[in-house]
C-alpha cells in the first residue's frame, strides 16, 4: 500500500485449527482502538484503527487462508496482497510449526526482493501441558527466518493486543527506513 497512508493489509496464514480465526475475532471484538467499532468488510475481512505509539494505524485483517471454496486461488491471492503477515502455528501441534516454516519459504518465493514484515505466532500458549514446541524453538525459528516472534493465547487473550501492535511497528520500521 501507499507509504504514509497508515493503512496496512495484514494476512493470517497457517495450518487449519491453529487459532487464526480466534485471533481475528479478538481483533474484531475487544482490541483497544480509537473508534469503538470494527468494520466487518466481508465474512473474513476486518478493519480496525488502532493507536500505536501515539500514531493511528488502520489494519485490514484478512482471515481467508482456510477458505475452502476459494481453494488455491485464495492462497495465491493471500501470498500477493499482504503488506504484512502473521504466520500462526499452535504450540501444541508440531506439524503446524513445521508448516509455518514451509509457509515462510513460500512467502519468500512469492515476494522476492521485498522485505515483508512477518511475525511468527505460537498460539495456544495457555495449553501448557500439551506443549509440543518450546519457546526456544519458536524463537530460534524466527531468527532463521528473519522475522519477529510472539506466543499468544486467543483463549485467555494473552499477547493478542501486543501482536497487532507489533505488526504495526514492524511495518513502520520498514517505512521509516526508506
Ligand atoms: P483456525 O482454523 O486457524 O481459524 O483456528 P480457530 O480459530 O478456528 O481455532 C481452532 C480451535 O482452537 C477452536 O476450537 C478454538 O477455540 C481453539 N483455539 C484457538 N485459539 C486457542 C488458544 O489460544 N487456546 C486454546 N486453548 N484454544 C484455542
Ligand atoms: Mg479459521
Mean pLDDT to the nearest integer, 151-158: 97
Residues lining ligand 1, judged by CB closer than 6 Å? Answer: 16-22, 66, 123-124, 126-127, 153-155
Q: Which residue has the higher pLDDT, 72 or 110?
A: 110
Residue nearest to atom 10 of ligand 1 (CA): 17
What would the pLDDT profile of 60-97 be if each residue is shown by its tens digit?
A: 999 999 987 767 889 999 999 999 999 999 999 999 99
Q: What is the pTM of this model?
A: 0.93
ipTM for the predicted complex comes to: 0.99
pLDDT at 38: 60
pLDDT of residue 2 exceeding 50: no
**DSSP labels for 101-144?**
HHHHHHHHHHTTT----EEEEEE-TT-GGG--S-HHHHHHHHHH
Question: What is the Cα–Cα distance from 164 to 105, expressed in whole angstroms?
Answer: 23
Amino acid at each position: 500500500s501507499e507509504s504514509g497512508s497508515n493503512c496496512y493489509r495484514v494476512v493470517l496464514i497457517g495450518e487449519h485449527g491453529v487459532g487464526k480465526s480466534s485471533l481475528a475475532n479478538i481483533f474484531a471484538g475487544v482490541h483497544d482502538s480509537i473508534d469503538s467499532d470494527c468494520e466487518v468488510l466481508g465474512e473474513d475481512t476486518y478493519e480496525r484503527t488502532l493507536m500505536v505509539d501515539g500514531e493511528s494505524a488502520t489494519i485490514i485483517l484478512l482471515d481467508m487462508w482456510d477458505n475452502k471454496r476459494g481453494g488455491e486461488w485464495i492462497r495465491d491471492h493471500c501470498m500477493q496482497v499482504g503488506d504484512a503477515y502473521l504466520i500462526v502455528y499452535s504450540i501444541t501441534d508440531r506439524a503446524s510449526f513445521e508448516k509455518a516454516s514451509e509457509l515462510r519459504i513460500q512467502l519468500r518465493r512469492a515476494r522476492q526482493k521485498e522485505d515483508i514484515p512477518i511475525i511468527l505466532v505460537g498460539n495456544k500458549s495457555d495449553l501448557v501441558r500439551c506443549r509440543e514446541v518450546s519457546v526456544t524453538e519458536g524463537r530460534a525459528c524466527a531468527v532463521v527466518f528473519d522475522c519477529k516472534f510472539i506466543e499468544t493465547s486467543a483463549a485467555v487473550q494473552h499477547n493478542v493486543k501486543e501482536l497487532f501492535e507489533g505488526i504495526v511497528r514492524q511495518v513502520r520500521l520498514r517505512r521509516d527506513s526508506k
